[in-house]
């Protein structure tokens, strides 16, 4: 439902985000209608072309600390107008109005945004309103950021925004990068770039390691990643033809971070086998939770949201001539928060990474997709010099042609979404969103802990919550007591019971419509736990307290959980007996079926013989 309140005149007030859209959309509508109309005038230009150096002086590309308000007029003025019938440069042209009708966007915004956000959200927190406008602008221009001369403004936006984010990570003036269609694509491009940079013959001769090519400069190329690392690394290795068996999973410490000593030991063993370690993948913000001894479920839990020690890993990687990549798809955007960068060591050493993946479309709320691949090595030039195939029909030597460094050709101007959002909210605005998310996660953790201390049956999976994923079980007191007595003898039974309770909670809460939550299993067991990710700008700490009181667990849940715990042993035994009985019944049915089939075949055989004898006798009788 839409959260709104009547004013003194009796009219309903729009929520903050809907109000923001109500201001922005009419302005953008006027700009776009005039822009499209101008394309069909006889004296209109396809582009007011300027050199990159001149265009930099005409555009305000500086990304502010605090928000400045709406931008977009200059982007339209100096962009290529693909609506113009004289635009004949590429295999695409202006889109159709149905793809970007502002009236349709207004309808969607009024009905959806006010549902997703509420008035509790402070105006300093970034929201999705600017993202809607940026998508509208991108759809209207319908351009491709592979070469500068068809997307001059968006190209400079991408160069500036990657450089600015690189500075947040400490990469300095030489920092920069490219945008890719998602974090997995960024990780893949990082692996390909590392291989081509360290062993350039693989680009032309292919991957032929020693001993298959005795003269090769490398053996089997080995990739090292945390056992909590994202699966996209293995996907990329598979795609590159290196083989997933050449991915080495490094154990983590008690905080879920990659063990530096273990990494060095594994690299040394790899070298002794004649292999060539070349790529180390660190993670800034893991997304998995594994475990082996929790107090009740006999599992040693390692937290989600862990940040690998980048500085220490960099020393090991450089010592063995390995490329260090940091997958910060989930946690990398904490760089926008001054508080986090001052008080936490999560991204300490990020300037030492050879490449760094960051996804603003996650924690910062930038519309999908928006993924940055950053490097301190000459910015986007690293990718073009390493991966270019010199396709002269498209790339004509312009150093601003960003598409030359990617594995594809067509590129969406996703950088504009982060650039325009940064202009509107500022770095401080995005930083406030990060701080707010961390505060909300802490508040929910405190709420669950308080309920656990009050004997309400809650149990945090990891305490304190390491990042933004608050995970807990609901364990009824009766079941908790039995766990303390017999968890070693019958831990499997209670794991099954807790998992069943979690599934019921998940179904009941989601069906209520007040919340949408997730549950996940532990890697080492089948135990399920409730998982909540807190990063919405509307979910302020006070909102959590109010909602938790307004939407309690279903009233029948405690009684159900107690019944489940009391019956868990007998249910488990009945299940095992039932399975043995069913197997026995299936065996008897199988034997009876086989006997029946043999009997039926024998009868058919006898009938066939009698029929043949009768037919032959009839034939003889007819002849005689």
Q: What is the pLDDT of residue 459?
A: 82
**How far, in Å, CA of 448 to CA of 530, rounded?**
12
Q: What is the pLDDT of residue 623?
A: 44
Whichever domain contains 261, its CATH number is 3.40.640.10
The reply to whether 460 falls in a domain is no
The structure's pTM equals 0.74
The reply to whether 38 falls in a domain is no
Q: What is the pLDDT of residue 507?
A: 80
The reply to whether 249 falls in a domain is yes
Number of domains in the chain: 1
Task: Provide the greatest CA pair distance for the chain.
Answer: 117
SS3 168: helix
- Average pLDDT for runs of 10 along the chain of length 624: 45 74 78 80 81 86 76 74 65 47 37 30 42 76 87 92 97 96 95 97 94 94 94 94 96 90 97 97 83 45 77 98 96 96 96 97 86 96 92 85 89 91 89 89 86 81 82 78 52 72 80 69 64 65 48 49 47 59 74 78 75 52 44
The reply to whether 476 falls in a domain is no
DSSP string, 319-361: HTT-EEEEEETTTGGGGG-HHHHHH--TTTTGGG-SEEEE-HH
Q: What is the pLDDT of residue 49?
A: 81
The reply to whether 345 falls in a domain is yes
Q: What is the pLDDT of residue 610?
A: 67
The reply to whether 335 falls in a domain is yes
Q: Are strands 221-226 and 276-283 parallel, antiparallel or unpaired?
A: parallel
Return the closest-CA partner of residue 474 out of 462, 493, 461: 461
The reply to whether 406 falls in a domain is yes
The reply to whether 546 falls in a domain is no
| Helical ranges in 415-533 per DSSP H | 415-453, 477-512
**How far, in Å, CA of 518 to CA of 513, rounded?**
13
The domain containing residue 148 runs over which residues? 143-388+398-426
User: Quick one: 276 exposed, middle or buried, by C-beta within 10 A (0-12, 13-18, 19+)?
Assistant: buried
């Amino acid at each position: 439902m839409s959260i709104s309140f009547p004013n003194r005149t009796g009219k309903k007030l729009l929520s903050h985000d809907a109000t923001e859209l109500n201001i922005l959309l009419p302005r953008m509508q006027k700009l776009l209608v005039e822009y499209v109309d101008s394309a069909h005038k006889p004296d209109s230009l396809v582009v007011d072309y300027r050199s990159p150096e001149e265009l930099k002086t005409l555009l305000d590309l500086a990304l502010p600390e605090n928000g400045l308000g709406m931008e977009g007029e200059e982007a339209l003025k100096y962009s290529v107008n693909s609506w113009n019938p004289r635009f004949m440069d590429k295999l695409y042209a202006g889109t159709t109005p149905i793809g970007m009708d502002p009236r349709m966007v207004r309808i969607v915004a009024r009905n959806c945004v006010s549902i997703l956000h509420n008035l509790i959200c402070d105006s300093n927190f970034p929201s999705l309103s600017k993202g809607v406008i940026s998508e509208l602008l991108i759809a209207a221009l319908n351009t491709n950021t592979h070469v500068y001369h068809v997307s001059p403004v968006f190209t400079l936006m991408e160069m500036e925004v990657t450089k600015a984010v690189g500075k947040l990570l400490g990469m300095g003036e030489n920092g920069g990068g490219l945008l890719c269609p998602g974090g997995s694509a960024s990780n893949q491009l990082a692996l390909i770039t590392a291989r081509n940079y360290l062993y350039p013959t693989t680009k032309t001769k292919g991957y032929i390691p020693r001993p298959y090519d005795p003269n090769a400069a490398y053996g089997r190329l080995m990739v090292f990643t945390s056992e909590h690392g994202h699966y996209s690394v293995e996907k990329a290795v598979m795609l590159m033809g290196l083989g997933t068996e050449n991915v080495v999973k490094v154990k983590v410490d008690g905080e879920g971070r990659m063990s530096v000593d273990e990494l060095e030991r594994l690299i040394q063993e790899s070298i002794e086998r004649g292999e060539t370690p070349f790529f180390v993948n660190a993670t800034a913000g893991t997304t998995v939770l594994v475990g082996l001894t929790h107090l009740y479920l006999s599992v040693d839990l390692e937290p989600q949201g862990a940040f690998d020690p980048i500085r220490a890993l960099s020393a090991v990687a450089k010592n063995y001539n390995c490329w260090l990549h940091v997958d910060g798809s989930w946690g990398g955007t904490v760089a926008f928060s001054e508080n986090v960068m001052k008080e936490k060591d999560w991204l300490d050493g990020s300037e030492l990474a050879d490449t760094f993946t960051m996804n603003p479309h996650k924690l910062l709320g930038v519309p999908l997709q928006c993924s940055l691949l950053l490097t301190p090595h000459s910015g986007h030039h690293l990718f073009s010099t390493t991966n270019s195939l010199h396709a002269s029909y498209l790339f004509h030597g312009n150093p601003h042609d960003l598409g030359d460094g990617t594995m594809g050709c067509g590129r969406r101007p996703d950088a504009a979404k982060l650039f325009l959002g940064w202009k509107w909210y500022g770095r401080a605005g995005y930083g406030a969103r990060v701080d707010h998310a961390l505060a909300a996660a802490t508040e929910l953790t405190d709420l669950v802990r308080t309920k656990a201390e009050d004997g309400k049956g809650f149990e945090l999976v990891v305490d304190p919550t390491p990042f933004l994923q608050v995970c807990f079980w609901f364990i009824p007191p009766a079941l908790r007591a039995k766990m303390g007595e017999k968890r070693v003898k019958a831990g499997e039974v209670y794991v099954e019971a807790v998992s069943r309770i979690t599934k019921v909670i998940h179904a009941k809460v989601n069906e209520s419509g007040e919340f949408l939550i997730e549950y996940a299993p532990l890697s080492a067991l089948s135990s399920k736990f409730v998982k909540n990710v807190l990063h919405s700008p509307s979910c302020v700490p006070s909102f959590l307290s109010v909602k938790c009181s307004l939407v309690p667990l279903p009233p029948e849940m405690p009684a159900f959980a107690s019944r489940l715990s009391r019956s868990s042993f007998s249910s488990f035994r009945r299940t095992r007996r039932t399975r043995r009985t069913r197997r026995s019944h299936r065996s008897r049915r199988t034997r009876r079926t086989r006997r029946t089939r043999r009997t039926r075949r024998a009868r058919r055989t006898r009938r066939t013989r009698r029929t043949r004898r009768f037919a032959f006798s009839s034939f003889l009788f007819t002849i005689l």
